[in-house]
Amino acid sequence: MATDINLLIRGQSNALLFTAFGAAASLEQQLEARVPGTDIHLLAEYDTDTSTMYSATGFLDWPRDGEQQGLLTFIGNQSADIRDNPTITLWMHNEYDGNTPDVTTDRWVAAVQADAALVRDALGQGAATTPYEFTYVDYPFTASGSPEAIQAGMARLSADPGFNARFDPGALQGLAMDGPGYPPNGHIGYWDSYAVAGRLADIMAGTVATLAGGAGVAGPGDSGPGNTGGGDPAGGGRVWDFNAVADSPKYAPVTLDWQAGDRIDLSDVALVGAERPAALHWAGIDPDGPVKAWGIWEWGDGSGTLRVDVDGDSSADMSITLRGAPLLAAGDFILG
């Protein structure tokens, strides 16, 4: 029987567009593919009085202006068998507050804690089964100091084991922000929304697996299970053997328990490098060596994704998500 897990989407216009473009549904499907035996239920609504997303609203104003009650009513309207599912809150809400003067970390954290208590009460659950995934929308219109205060708040809550959250600031970074609506350059575009879905699937698969009781994490870019490892012949740890390339940034094998001494075996992958792609920076392997693989190492609260361009076209052909790897060095790779 599948493990049911809710994915609650919260935010304002960018969260709305992420949902309306179909990227939230793509994230749902990718998480189910990565963690076999799970059934993800998308909890997302907009343009109603009982929504999970409200355009052009500051989260700090939600209790006063009614959006918080609308969210709680939405949750209360779900059936009991939905409300009792473990629920991940995907937080895409910082644009309005980041453009509001004098937002402080203490104020933002207190507001999120109070709101989370209400949401968890409406679900009838505690923090252990209701983790938060904080992202940060790279909104170009800001008030001095407020974005930094909000990001510090996300980091503080992620460091609090009693709250149960993680902050992955890179998921929505580097976007064209060419989506519709006012103000210009303030909204995610269609294609970028799907890139974000892929990044979030990389990031969140481990959380889903944990809620599912330790289910394994799979990725269609690999051959076989793709994240199984054998002992290192040199005795230095496990070897994570990857022997196929998925030419898509949306899917990635995921390793949940990387430890010092483990290595990534790419010896079966044709890493034929060209000149250094301008859009990527080097990570891990000596670019002057006989085998080239240009990658970008993206951090997120103790985990990261190695995106490898194997043909020099500046596009990630292979993605590997590692949980717990502090740094990649040349010795972490086995090359052909």
Question: Do 241 and 190 share a structural domain?
Answer: no
Could you tell me the CATH number of the domain that includes residue 58?
A: 3.40.50.1110
Number of domains composing the chain: 2
Residues 35 and 152 in one domain: yes
Domain of residue 190 covers 3-211
Instruction: Give the pLDDT band of residue 173 (cuts 50, 70, 90).
Output: confident
Is the pLDDT assigned to residue 292 strictly greater than 90? Answer: no
Instruction: Compute the average pLDDT of residues 32-39.
Output: 93
Please give the structure tokens belonging to residue 240. Answer: 């994570």
Does residue 189 share a domain with residue 276?
A: no
Tell me, yes or no, whether 244 and 298 share the same domain. Answer: yes
Residue 102 reports pLDDT greater than 90: yes
Assess whether pLDDT exceeds 80 at residue 224.
no
CA dihedral 59, 29, 254, 131 (to 10 degrees): 30
Say whether pLDDT at 214 is over 70.
Answer: no
Q: Are residues 127 and 181 in the same domain?
A: yes
* Amino acid 284: pLDDT: 38
Q: In terms of domains, do 191 and 336 share one? A: no
Query: How far is 119 from 111, CA to CA, in rounded Å?
Result: 12
Q: Which of 211, 239, 269 is the last residue of a domain?
A: 211
d(CA 122, CA 125): 8
Q: Are residues 182 and 319 in the same domain?
A: no
276 in the same domain as 329: yes
Q: Which residues are within 8 A (CB) of 71 and not within 5 positions of it... i.e. 6 or more apart?
A: 10, 50, 51, 52, 62, 119
Same domain for 201 and 297, yes or no, is: no
Of 159, 177, 211, the position where a domain reaches its end is 211
Residue after which a domain boundary falls, among 190, 211, 232: 211
Distance CA 242, CA 205 (A): 18
Phi/psi of residue 63, nearest 5 degrees: -60, -40
Q: 238 with 206, same domain?
A: no
Is the per-residue pLDDT at 312 higher than 80?
A: no
